[in-house]
Structure 1
Amino acid sequence: MKYKIGKSTQKDAKQAIEEAAGGLKEPKLILFYSGVEQFEAYTIEMKKMFPDSIIMGSTTYVSLCKEGAYKDTLMVLGIEEGIECFGDVLEEVDKYPLKYVRRVENCVKQLANPRNTICLEFSTALISSEELILSTLNSVLGEKKIPLIGGSAGDHGVAEKTMVSLNGVVYDKACVFVLIRNLKGAIKLYKENIYEPTEHHFIATKVDVRKRIVHELNHEPAAKAMAKALNTRVDQLGPYLDNRPLGRIIGNDMYITANQMVLPDNSIAYHARVYSNSQVVLLQPASYKEVIEKTIEKIRRDIPRPSLAIMIHCLARSILFEQDGYINAYARKMGEAVGDYVAFSGYGEQLNEQHFNQTMAIAVFE
C-alpha cells in the first residue's frame, strides 16, 4: 500500500493543504480531519488540489497519529496505491436516509469483489441519526457481508456544531461513506472499551427509542433506579453520570451508551438508543492502561505486519486521557502496535449494526 500521512497548523487553507498533502500525486482516497473553524475552507481547497480523488472529511475534537495528538491541526491521509474505493453521501439522515440507499447500492456494484472490503463512514453528530444511518447502509452491505466502521463527527467538546464533507461539499445533516477494498490483504476491525460491569443489572422497561430516553429501569423511574444503585440522591446524580455509562448487552457482547442528562420527570436521556426490554448494566471505569495493553497484544497476534490503520476515538475518552496527561502517550503507543494510522475524535462510534459511545474502534489493514 502506498500512502502519505501529513499534518499542518498553517492558518491559510491552501498553505495548510500544501504542507499536509505535499508529495501526493494522484491519490485514490483522501481522508482529512480538522477543527470546525477551518473545515469548510479545507474542504473546498482540497477538492481544487485533487479534483479526481475521493475526498472525505470530518470535524474533530482532536486528531491522532503515531507521533501524538493534535488540536487545531489539519491531518491528512492520502492513499495512492493498494486499494479500490468508491464513495457517496446519505443526505437528510435525521429524517429519511433510506431515500438515498441507491447510492450505497451503486458503490457496491462497482466493486470488483466485496472480499477484503470495509465501509468507512463519517456522520454528523447531535441529531440522533446514527441508528437510521446504520439501518440504511447495512440493508445493502449485509447482503455482501461487507463490515462497517465509522464515527460521529466532533467539535470543541461543547456540542455546538459538527460537519462532514465529501468531494468539496460540506454537510451538517449527512453521512459520507467510502467502500475501501484492500488489494493486498485483509482488513480487521476491533473495538475497545475501558469500562467494566458493576453488579447492577436492569431491564429497560419503558423507553422512547427515537428520542433516546429511558423512562424506567426495572419498572422504576430511571433516575431513581440509577441513584439507588450509586447510593446517592437524584439531585446529585449528574456528576456520577460522566463516568458511569450504561452497557447494552447484546448476545455475548456489550456496547456503551453514554449518559446525556437527567430530565425533570426522572427519566434519563442517552447518546445512543436503548431498546424496550433490553438488558443493560451500570458500568464503572476499568484500569484503562491494562485494557489498552490487551488490545495491542491482540492486534499484534492477529496482524503481525500491519500496513495502515484508521481509528475512531471517542471524544469523552480523548478528554479523559487529556486530563490524565496521557493522550500523547496513548497516540504513540497505538503507533507501536499498528504502525501508521490516523484517528479523529467525535460523539459516537459505529461498528457493523451498532452505534455506541466512549469506545475506540479501529480498522487495521494487512
Structure 2
Amino acid sequence: MNYKVGKSSKGDLNEAVSEATLGLKAPKLILFFSNVEPFEEYSKKIKEKFQSSIIIGSTTFAGFCMDGAYKNSLMVMGIEDGIECYADILEEVDKYPLKYIDRVTKCVNNFRDKSNTICFEISTALISCEELVLSTLNSVLDEHKIPLFGGSAGDKGKAEKTMVSFNGIVYQNTCAFVIIKNLSGKITLYRENIYKKTAHYFTATKVDTRNRIVYEYDNKPAALVMAQALNTTVENLPKYLDSYPLGRIIGSDLYITANQMVTKNNGMSYHAKVYNNSKMVLLEPDDYKNVINETIATVKKEVPNPSLAIMVNCLARSMLFEADGYLNEFAKNMGNALGNYIGFAGYGEQLRDQHFNQTMVLAVFE
C-alpha cells in the first residue's frame, strides 16, 4: 500500500498545506485533522491542490502519528493505492440522517467484492447525533457485513465548535463517511478501555433517552445513587465525574459512558445514550500504561506487518494523558505497533453499532 502521513505546524496556511502534503501525487483518499481556527481554510486549500481525491477532514483536540501528538497543527494522510473507496455525507444528522440513506447504498453498491471492507465515519459533535448516524449507516452496512468505526469531531476540549469537511466543503450537523476496501489483506478493529469495574452495579429504571439523561437507578434518584457509590455527597459529585465514568453492559461487552453533569431533580446526563433497563457498572481508572502496552503487544501479534492504521483516541483520554505528561509518548508508543499511522481526538468513539466515550478505537490494515 502506497501512502504518506505528513504534518505541519507552520503559521502560514499555504506553507502548512505544502509541507503536510509533500510527496503526495494523486491520492485516492486524503484524511486530515486540524484545530478549529484554520480548518475551513485548510479544507479549501487541500481541495484546490487535489481536486480528484476524496477528502475527509475533522477538527480535533490533537493529531497523532508515529512521531508524536501535535496540537494546533495540520495532520494529513494520503493513500495513493492499495485501496478502493467511495464516500459521501449524511446531513441533518441530529434529526433526519435517514433521509440520506440512498447515499450509503450507492457507495456500497459500487463494490463488486465487499470482503476486507470497512466504513470510517466522522460526525460533528455536541449535538447528540451519533446513535442516529449509526442506525442509518448500519441499516445498509449490516446486510453487507461491512463493519463501521469512527469518531465524533473534536476541539480544544471546551465544547465550543466542531466541524467536518467533505471534498473541500465544511459542515456542521453532518457525518462524512468513506467505505474502504483493503486490496492487500484483512482489516482488524480494536477497542481499548483504560477503566475497570468497581463493585457498584445499577439498572437504569427511569430515562430520557433522547436527551441522554438518567433520572433513576434502581428506582432511586440517579445522582444520589452515584454519590453513595463514590462515598460522597451530590454537591461534591461533579469533581468525581471525569475520573469515574459508567460502563454500559451488553452481553459480555462493556462500553464506557462518560458523565456530563448532575441535572435538576438529581438526574445524571451523559455523553452517550443510556436505555431503559440498561445494566450499568461504576468504573474506576485502571493502570493505563499497562493496558496500552497490552494493546500494543496484541496488535503486534495479530497484525505483525500493518500497512496502514487509523486511530480515534477520545478527547478525555487525550486530556488525561496530556495532564500526566504522557500524550506525546503515547502517540510514539502506538507507532511501535502501527508503523506510520494517523489519529485524531474527538468527543466520542463509534464501533459497529455502538457509540461510547473515553475509549480508543483502531483500524489496522494488513
TM range (shorter): over 0.9
- SS state at 1:132 partner: helix
Name the structure 2 match of 1:163.
163
Separation in 1, partners of 2:294, 2:23: 36
Matched, 1:248 2:248: yes
Name the structure 2 match of 1:150.
150
- SS state at 2:37 partner: helix
Separation in 2, partners of 1:240, 1:328: 26
TM-score by length of 1: 0.99
- SS state at 1:85 partner: strand
Gap regions ≥5 residues in structure 1: none
Name the structure 2 match of 1:286.
286
Name the structure 2 match of 1:37.
37
Moved more, 7-16 or 121-130: 7-16
Name the structure 1 match of 2:108.
108
Separation in 2, partners of 1:156, 1:289: 24
Separation in 2, partners of 1:13, 1:120: 27
Separation in 2, partners of 1:291, 1:3: 29
Cα deviation, residue 131, structure 1 = 0.1
Cα deviation, residue 14, structure 1 = 2.1
Cα deviation, residue 12, structure 1 = 2.6
Count, aligned residues:
366
- SS state at 2:51 partner: coil
Separation in 1, partners of 2:249, 2:172: 31
Name the structure 1 match of 2:298.
298
Name the structure 2 match of 1:182.
182
Separation in 2, partners of 1:72, 1:12: 12
Cα deviation, residue 15, structure 1 = 1.8
Letter in 2 for 1:192: E
Separation in 2, partners of 1:15, 1:293: 37
Name the structure 2 match of 1:264.
264
Letter in 2 for 1:301: K
Cα deviation, residue 213, structure 1 = 0.2
Cα deviation, residue 11, structure 1 = 2.3
- SS state at 1:36 partner: coil
Q: Output aligned runs, 1:109-128, within 5 Å.
A: 109-128=109-128
Deviation string, structure 1 residues 308-334 (Cα, Å, up to 9, x no partner): 100000000000000111111111110
- SS state at 1:280 partner: strand
Moved more, 108-117 or 176-185: 108-117
Name the structure 2 match of 1:210.
210
Moved over 6 A (4+): none
Separation in 2, partners of 1:23, 1:339: 18
Name the structure 2 match of 1:6.
6
TM-score by length of 2: 0.99
Name the structure 2 match of 1:338.
338
- SS state at 1:52 partner: coil
Gap regions ≥5 residues in structure 2: none
Name the structure 1 match of 2:359.
359
Cα deviation, residue 111, structure 1 = 1.2
Separation in 2, partners of 1:95, 1:33: 26
- SS state at 1:181 partner: strand
Matched, 1:87 2:83: no
Q: Let me know the Cα RMSD of the aligned residues.
A: 0.6
Cα deviation, residue 231, structure 1 = 0.8
- SS state at 2:265 partner: coil
Name the structure 2 match of 1:196.
196
Separation in 2, partners of 1:207, 1:269: 10
Name the structure 2 match of 1:66.
66
Letter in 2 for 1:144: H
Name the structure 1 match of 2:223.
223
